[in-house]
Amino acid sequence: MPCRRPDPRQTSLADLLDLTLAPAPVLSPLEALVEAGIIRNVHLCSGGHIPDPDQPFMPRSLCFPVAYIKTWYDPEPRLYLNTPACADIPLVQRVEAVTGMRAVWDPRAANGQWHHAIDLASDADWRRLASSMAHTTVEAVEQAVGLKLTWGELSVANARALLAAIGSVEPDGRSAAEWDGISPGTSGGISCLPRGAWWAVHGLEDGWYRP
């Protein structure tokens, strides 16, 4: 039986050229972030933290609200929130949508909560700190207040206002027993660790030290 010649009107260009369409390349999460314009390249610095261009550099907790981290003990990369409340930030939600990954909070990595407290515990920003406690803890703020008082970056009046705003309870007494015998360290200054905010407030008010 003679072979029928193919009808050129029913032949596609791919059939004529014998082409096979290759599947679209699968992008890695970092490549997807680059393509979306969220990061510049796949080589993230700052420990994998992704910067938010809509936030100022301080506090660091909001400037870098989410991190893409791959550890040696976990073969799968993960997205980590800098603070629990960072989940509501639009950049974080966009990163999740682009990568298809869910950002999680790991309480073992609480640096973001500390950064939020120490970056904003100042005369210029203490009100911002008092109004954004979802990103930090009372304990972190109390410790930050103690440090900033001894460094001279926070006044006693503002320290008391901040501590009152976050519900920190002033202890009885004036911390005199704790101040007795305190001397400057080898590098100069004093350390308020682990005593904290009220120790520093009482010490400054009662003349035990000067910033």
Cα-based distances in Å from 100 to 26, 75, 97, 166:
13, 17, 5, 37
- Looking at residue 184, its pLDDT comes to 58
Question: What average pLDDT does this structure show over 173-197?
Answer: 61
- The residue behind tokens 């002033």 is 170
Contacts of 121 (CB under 8 A, 6+ apart): 129, 141, 144, 145, 147, 148, 153, 154, 162
Question: What average pLDDT does this structure show over 50-72?
Answer: 91
- Looking at residue 72, its pLDDT comes to 75
Find, among 124, 165, 170, 162, the residue nearest to 144 by Cα: 162
Tokens describing residue 60:
């660091």
84, exposed or middle or buried, with CB in 10 Å at 0-12, 13-18, 19+?
A: middle
Q: What proportion of the chain, given as a percentage, has pLDDT over 70?
A: 76
User: Looking at per-residue confidence, does 29 or 89 come out higher?
Assistant: 89
Interval 109-144: pLDDT, tens: 789 999 999 999 999 999 999 999 999 999 999 999
Mean pLDDT taken over the chain: 83
Tokens describing residue 25:
């390349």
Lowest mean pLDDT among 8-12, 32-36, 121-125, 161-165: 8-12
Q: 17 pLDDT exceeds 60?
A: no
Question: What average pLDDT does this structure show over 201-208?
Answer: 87
Tokens describing residue 95:
């990163």
pTM of the entire predicted model: 0.79
Contacts of 1 (CB under 8 A, 6+ apart): none
Strand 49-50 and strand 103-104: the pairing is: unpaired
